[in-house]
Amino acid sequence: MFQSTAPSSSFPKSINGKGTQHTPSPTPLLDLPALQSASRVLHDQFVKDAQAVPELGEMLTTSGLQSSAAYSVFPDDYRVPFQKRRLVRIPESLFQYYNTTNVTTHMGLLPELDRVWITIDQNLFLWDYIEGQELSSFSDQPDVITHVALVKPKPGVFIDEITSLLVLCTPVSILLIGISVADVPGPSNRTRKEIKMYATDMSVPCEVEMSSVAGTSDGRIFMTGVQDGHLYELHYQEKEGWFGKRVQLINHSVGGVQSLLPRLGSAKAEDRMTTVVSDSYRNLFYTLTVNNTISVYRTNGDKAVQHLQTISNLYKLAQDKAPGSPALTPKSFSIISLHVLEPGHSQYSAQLMAITTNGVRLFFGTSSSLSRQLQLLHVRLPPSNLIHPDEALNPMRPPSAPSYGLGQQGQQITNRPYLVSTLDIAAYEAGLTIAAQPGDTEDTDFLLCMSPDLTRIGNLGQLHAPAPQMQPPQPQYNTYGAVQGPTRPVLTEYATLLTIPGRTWAMAPVPRPPLAAAAITPSDCPAPTLTNELSTQFSEPSRQFMILTNVGLTFLAKRRALDYLQAVIEEYQVEGNAQPLIEFRDSFGRDQTCAMLLAIAAGNTFLDIGEQSYIGTISIVNPDLAAVARQAFYDFGERPIWTERTTYGTSEGSGTATFSGRREGLALYFARLVRPIWKAKVVKPGPFGLQEPNISDDVLVVIQKNLFALKEMLDRNPHLFHSAPGDHAGVRSAAATEQEAWKVEQASVFQLLSLLSRTIEAISFILLLTDHRIGELIAQCDVEVQKTFQTLTFEQLVTDQSGVNVSRALVNVVINQQIGQQISVDTISEVLQQRCGSFCSTDDVMLYKARENVRKAAETKNPAERQNWLAESLRLFTKGARIMEFEKLREIVGDYQQLNYAKGAIELPLYCAQVFDIDHQGQDYWYSGCPANDPRAEFWQRRLNCYDLVLDSLQVFEDRSDSAAAQTGSLEDPQTVKRHAYELALASEDEMFHSTLYDWLIQRGFSDELLEMRPVYLEAHLRREPATVEKYQLLWQFYVKDGQPLRAAEVLGALADSTEFDLPLEARLEYLTLAVGNAKSHPVSVGGKHETAVAFLTELEEKLEVAQVQLETYHALLPQASQPGEVGAKIKLLSKALFNITELYQGYAVPFDLPTIKLLILHVSEHRDDNIVRPIWNKLFEQGEKHKLMYFAAMEGLEPAAAADRIASKVIPLGSRFYPSESAFPLRHVASLLVRFALANKAVVPFGWAPRILVQCGVPHAEVWDILHEMYESQIPPFNEQANVQHLSSDIAILLTDWLEEAKRPQAGGARTVRGEFPVYRIDQAVDQYLSELAPDRTETKVAYENIKRQLRRNW
């Protein structure tokens, strides 16, 4: 529709959004990084706005340009810079006072009071022009009033209600009247000022008539004398004093000025002071004389002023700046007024402007920061091509090419130019100048109106209109702050002439309404220049001037770019011509235009150039107008562009997106709406040590209304930020790079929309807190929260974690306040959710409602109701657990404990443990063995904290059940509560909690109960690292209880073998014994692992035998364990761990020469080696050796009988222990040693000594007889001697006798020979042999043999 230099889509399809994607609404979850990213975008726009338009001082001091006359003058209506809004006529009631023709009357403006002052002779009337007809009057003095001024009072002199003073001047006196002001509702939803006048009894007579009264910010009053042109001060104080009257008039021209310059005498009559102007910004005041001389003063102590500077010869100075200018002639060079300029931020700061009768403006300032002397910086010549108002009334738009913004060199204006020459009154504010002169006819005045042309001086990314014959170039996208061409642009202004009815008496800027505070930039935020109305037009009403004439009061409004754009769209609607829209875009730049189109489409509160209501209401925009604005926004916004950037030396490339005008316009409009609050602190110190809101509610409401209107419009038109199929100018599908650009743009827009929603809610949140007395709420928070809030900015509240924390704390305080006042939280929580959901989420509301349910449960006496309230609270707490803080959880669990609500006290912290470790990082950390310096440890600790609450609840319920006192008055049986609590805890499926619970129970001595219950995770817990003796002890018992004896045996075996535990040897032996016992209990059929089980049992039994050997070895060596050095240390090692049989033999039995241990080892290992075992036994019988480390003492030095007893005492225990092991007890060798010892000591050792020792060792009689018989028959030395054979025969006789006696005994458990098995025949035959070979002298032996034969005959 709006075809221009860039391709755009067609008009109708996208109005309804058909066929387009829908932007998803921002997610309710708070994505702080996304909000912070969007906030950085806003900050970028702040910076751009601050750099877009240079300050006035910078343009006036452009190098080489000491004067300028660049103006944009247009005949067409929509670009006229000022517009007459309304005329309020002087009330008819006033004319009754004109009862005679001979009256003296004066008029003037008191904008601060919304009043016009009118004097008729001695009567003063104050006309309330807001209300329209109301008049206040004062006539309590007799003299004609010639001048009235409003000044500030000195602090402490009057009552607090008096906020200003009226200075009434007559030819003979000066009178002060106190004024108090109160805002009351007025017409059109505006406020009006209600005033009260107070008599001060302060007046002073004067000899000259006063005019041009000016008050300073500290309450001093200066004025000029009409007749003498002197500078006077009206001094007043609270009381009469020794050194001064209560009111007095001081003539500073005569004696009171401390001048920095030599005095040249009193003022000459021809150079009288006519004007005094106060500069409250710099604490100076200026005077102007009839001869165009300007003086600069400052107050210097009570009743004194200091003259700083005088600037004279201004005509010559101006000529030097603008030589040859026709506007500068001695005749026309007469200054009519001085105007104080607002301070700027740059070093080039102009501070005073003077205007002459023909419109020449002289700008004064300091040339450098070092010099404070005022100098003429720049001469601004008047426009030379003004259009006469009569000719501008019916402008005809020429059909030629656009001329917008070309200045006076562009459009050729064929009308006759008009020059102003008799200006007599002027006003200035924020770069805007208006001045009046008499018109062509008697009843009208002409107004010269001038304002900066931002399209010429600003860096807006604009594309200036080309000459008619040139083709339009492609749009350019300039970077903000990078001004093309000269470093500082030349000042260019719009200029126009308007007519107003009547003769002008006074003019003044309309005071900024309270809502103008919505455009004030906080100190920490980049601020736009005062002349950059683009940045403030969405946040404050248009600036206005009022012109008082004898007809009435005319209001003149500054037309902003927004107003031009509205007019252009309306013209498009009427005429269908889109060219002015395209010209506007080219003049103000794509992004600025898009921002303004958004404001129109959304109905910005400051859209209407007319009267502004006090609170600001969303403008009702014609739907057709809004539709055109939306479509122009879509078409002018164009599309984002992707720029590839390849990194040198790599194949990978990256790129950046240049955003479309739509995204830039959104960011710009959004930033301008929130700039007044974004970097501002939320609160400031207030009375009584409390904080109070830093930004007024009215300002917040207006900003919020505009933000909400923007959001609502974008929600209704989601297609505005999506590409349409026709966007790609002949290309069927966008290239990959283009898609990438759209992707980046949509992500950025989405973040901005999220920030928009969050900001709207943040303002609602602050307004709600204000309603609840924000200062008192903050005082109830923690000290840390209070400190944070004192420095918190709106930006941080919206986008920073500190803002989230502080807001949550404040919501908690509000809710607690409600609960404390027994008020249902439903109302407040619904308000919070509806107005600021992201500050009070559904989870938050659930928590608050849950806490209220707990309160109700505590109050009710009905057990069923109590359970219902508690169950509902638990349900809600569980739903809101995601945002619950641990301290809050601790409080809730404490409440549940108090109310004996086991289900809540156990299940809620268990659920929170899961929620606080939502990604299971803490659980994974636990499973991996809790490694050091692992970031997951934080989540593990969070879980543990929750588990501690569960354990605390169990302890509380347990203590309560043990205490009889706790049972009294309780609605629940403490035993039942305790049992239920344990059931709930053990029913949990959280393995990590179970492990914590088991440890806690074991520490408190409940191991047996735990084993009886055998909960599901107990086995895994006992097997988990780190292993401990206690865990293993419980684990094998668990397996026994669980019917798994083989696994119990495995655990016991591992425990006995373990090297990490410091177990005594006896304990290891006990574990092995238990292991063997459990292994033997293993059923044969279980698991089909019989062979494995048998092998395991065998291994255990062998280990047990070896361990027993080790224990015996240890006890044998224990007396030497206290020896120093290696010997003692080596012996102690035996008690620390288990050794194998080889280690025991080689490491201990051999080095320490332990015969018994050696035999024991040979026996256990079943190692048969005669070369090893026989020397051991030989040593037992050897004579003459001493073995201190052996059990056996040497036989040397003993009597044979004693030696025989010693041998018997050693051999019998060893034989009893080792027989029939040939490994440790080689029977034939031992028998041989015994017999040989008996033969060697025949005289002492009795017959049968050797065989009886063997029988006592457990060797059967038959086996002993066989061995002795072999010796008898062997003929091997010493049995080749007859004496030895005969001795042996006697031993055999004793053996057979003993054997026969045993065989004859009744069969008892201890008898080793069964009667039926006794070899009667064989013995009978052998006895016959022995008798036949017996020596005759062996009578005793013979009797024995014969007795044997008789017994055989008798018994068998």
Alpha carbon separation from 171 to 121, 174, 274 (Å, rounded): 11, 8, 16
Query: Is the pLDDT confidence value at 1083 over 90?
Result: no
The predicted-structure confidence for 325-357, as pLDDT tens digits, reads as follows: 999 999 889 999 999 998 877 666 789 999 999
**Cβ-based neighbour number of residue 399 at 10 Å:** 5
Alpha carbon separation from 263 to 224, 260, 310 (Å, rounded): 19, 9, 12
pLDDT for residue 1187: 34
The predicted-structure confidence for 777-816, as pLDDT tens digits, reads as follows: 999 888 999 999 999 999 999 999 999 989 988 888 888 8
The predicted-structure confidence for 47-97, as pLDDT tens digits, reads as follows: 999 999 998 888 888 777 889 999 988 876 667 888 888 899 988 888 777
% pLDDT > 90, the chain: 41
Segment 714-727 mean pLDDT: 77
Identify the residue with better confidence: 982 or 833.
Answer: 982
Query: Is the pLDDT confidence value at 1293 over 70?
Result: yes
Identify the residue with better confidence: 191 or 260.
Answer: 191
Residue at token pair 């950046």: 656
Alpha carbon separation from 814 to 16, 352, 800, 893 (Å, rounded): 44, 52, 21, 22
pLDDT for residue 964: 52
Are the CB atoms for 753 and 721 separated by under 8 Å?
A: no
The predicted-structure confidence for 1135-1177, as pLDDT tens digits, reads as follows: 888 899 888 888 888 888 888 888 888 888 888 988 988 898 8
With cut-offs at 50, 70 and 90, classify the pLDDT of residue 1116.
Answer: confident
The predicted-structure confidence for 141-155, as pLDDT tens digits, reads as follows: 889 999 999 999 999
Output the six-digit token pair for 688: 């009584």
With cut-offs at 50, 70 and 90, classify the pLDDT of residue 407.
Answer: very low
With cut-offs at 50, 70 and 90, classify the pLDDT of residue 206.
Answer: very high
Query: Is the pLDDT confidence value at 1281 over 60?
Result: yes
The predicted-structure confidence for 757-774, as pLDDT tens digits, reads as follows: 999 999 999 999 999 898
Which of 159-163, 620-624, 893-897, 1261-1265 is predicted with the least confidence, judged by mean pLDDT? Answer: 620-624
With cut-offs at 50, 70 and 90, classify the pLDDT of residue 241.
Answer: low
Identify the DSSP state of 688: G
Query: Is the pLDDT confidence value at 242 over 60?
Result: no
Are the CB atoms for 853 and 869 separated by under 8 Å?
A: yes
Segment 231-245 mean pLDDT: 78
pLDDT for residue 19: 35
Query: At residue 207, what are phi and psi to the nearest 5 degrees?
Result: -90, -20
Segment 856-860 mean pLDDT: 87
pLDDT for residue 729: 46
Which of 422-426, 1241-1245, 1250-1254 is predicted with the least confidence, judged by mean pLDDT? Answer: 1241-1245
The predicted-structure confidence for 659-684, as pLDDT tens digits, reads as follows: 999 999 999 999 999 999 999 999 99
pLDDT for residue 610: 59
Segment 572-582 mean pLDDT: 89
Query: Is the pLDDT confidence value at 486 over 70?
Result: no
Reduced to 3 states, what is the DSSP secondary structure of residue 979?
Answer: helix
With cut-offs at 50, 70 and 90, classify the pLDDT of residue 1307.
Answer: low
With cut-offs at 50, 70 and 90, classify the pLDDT of residue 1292.
Answer: very high
pLDDT for residue 2: 57
With cut-offs at 50, 70 and 90, classify the pLDDT of residue 409.
Answer: very low
Output the six-digit token pair for 368: 């450098």
pLDDT for residue 648: 61
Crossing angle between the packed helical segments 590-602 and 561-575, to the nearest 10 degrees: 80
pLDDT for residue 150: 96
pLDDT for residue 738: 82
Segment 535-557 mean pLDDT: 91
pLDDT for residue 965: 47
Are the CB atoms for 344 and 292 separated by under 8 Å?
A: no
- Find how far residue 738's CA is from the centre of its chain: 35
Q: How far apart are CA 67 and CA 69, in angstroms?
A: 7
Q: How far apart are CA 727 and CA 640, in angstroms?
A: 11
Arithmetic mean of pLDDT over the chain: 83
Segment 558-566 mean pLDDT: 92
Region at 481 (left for phi over 0; alpha for psi -120 to 50; beta for the rest) = left
Query: Is the pLDDT confidence value at 731 over 60?
Result: no
Identify the residue with better confidence: 1063 or 711.
Answer: 711
pLDDT for residue 589: 93
Query: At residue 173, what are phi and psi to the nearest 5 degrees?
Result: -160, 165
- Find how far residue 261's CA is from the centre of its chain: 62
The predicted-structure confidence for 904-955, as pLDDT tens digits, reads as follows: 999 999 999 999 888 888 888 888 888 888 888 888 899 999 999 999 999 9
> DSSP H helical segments within 322-365, as ranges?
none
Which of 862-876, 885-899, 1310-1324 is predicted with the least confidence, judged by mean pLDDT? Answer: 1310-1324
Biggest CA-to-CA distance, the chain: 198
Query: Is the pLDDT confidence value at 568 over 70?
Result: yes
pLDDT for residue 255: 67
Output the six-digit token pair for 458: 């600003």
With cut-offs at 50, 70 and 90, classify the pLDDT of residue 269.
Answer: low
pLDDT for residue 1025: 84
Query: Is the pLDDT confidence value at 186 over 60?
Result: yes
Helix (H) or strand (E) holding 88: strand 82-89
pLDDT for residue 926: 84
Q: How far apart are CA 1242 and CA 1220, in angstroms?
A: 28
